[in-house]
Amino acid sequence: MCRTAAFVQECKRASEGTTNRVRLQEDKFLARETPLPPLAEQRRVVARIEELAAQIQEARTLRHQATEEAEALVANQIKALFERGQKSGWRIGRLGDYVVGDCYGSSEKTHDDSSGTPVLRMGTFRTVGWTCAI
């Protein structure tokens, strides 16, 4: 209702003042008569709003559950990947052995490292909550 042209015109008629100083006159505004739908229609509207609010809450709950399930799935897949890697002879080392902090911002490619050690740059990492993702 507040966005209708008729309502805006009513507010203008209840206002006084000059350019940039127009003030709504509270007594005129509050004296304005406002048509209301019958009580049965008001109750129908409220019931519909409550129904939609319940559907929104259900959608939020489902979205939250889907996010949790997706995060668990990714974590399980990463764990399985590393378990398979260990069985396949992957090297195990400290993260600090593979992260090169002084290359951050450099255009040097990681495969240019002459030691043969795989290199991860600090810029490769991004934080996600309390976890670190590559």
Look at the chain and report how many structural domains it folds into.
3
Residues 82, 43 within the same domain: yes
In the block, tokens 């739908």 appear at 37
* DSSP calls for 61-86: HHHHHHHHHHHHHHHHHHHHHHHHHH
Residues 105, 73 within the same domain: no
Residues 86, 100 within the same domain: no
What range defines the domain where residue 16 resides? 1-35
What predicted TM-score, i.e. pTM, was given to this entire model?
Answer: 0.48
Residues 116, 134 within the same domain: yes
Q: What is the pLDDT along the chain (134 residues), one digit of tens a residue?
A: 778 888 888 877 777 766 666 677 788 878 888 888 999 999 999 999 999 999 999 999 999 999 999 999 999 998 898 888 888 887 777 766 666 555 444 444 555 556 555 555 666 555 544 444 44
Residues 76, 121 within the same domain: no
Reading the block at residue 98, the tokens are 């593979």
Residues 118, 103 within the same domain: yes
